[in-house]
Amino acid sequence: MFNGHIQGPDFFDTAKFPTATFKSSQFNFSGDKIKSIDGVLTIKGISKDVTLAVTSFMCMPHPMLKKEACGVNATTVVKRSDFNMGKHVPYVSDEVTIDIPVEAIKE
């Protein structure tokens, strides 16, 4: 029931908007370490500038595939109402944290 509710028109409306995207525009470094990634987050056809805080980043040979691989964990906080998902605000928090884990394998 929860999945059906969260995918409905009051929230993600996945029938109309099956994907959410993030398109990076700039990587920000502190010395030689990546600190954050600026870009545009699009949910329900609404695009907003966001900054992803990078909480970890590592590259190494993938232990099973034996290819170079990089992993990153990033996070940002957005307001649901900015993406037309503000149902029950202010009774339910408008701010939500988005955590994005990525693993990339060199081909």
Provide the pLDDT for residue 107.
Answer: 87
Set out the domains of the chain in order of their start, with CATH numbers: 20-105 (2.40.128.110)
pTM score: 0.86
What is the amino acid identity at position 47? Answer: S
pLDDT digit string (tens) for 8-36?
Answer: 999 999 999 999 999 999 999 999 999 99
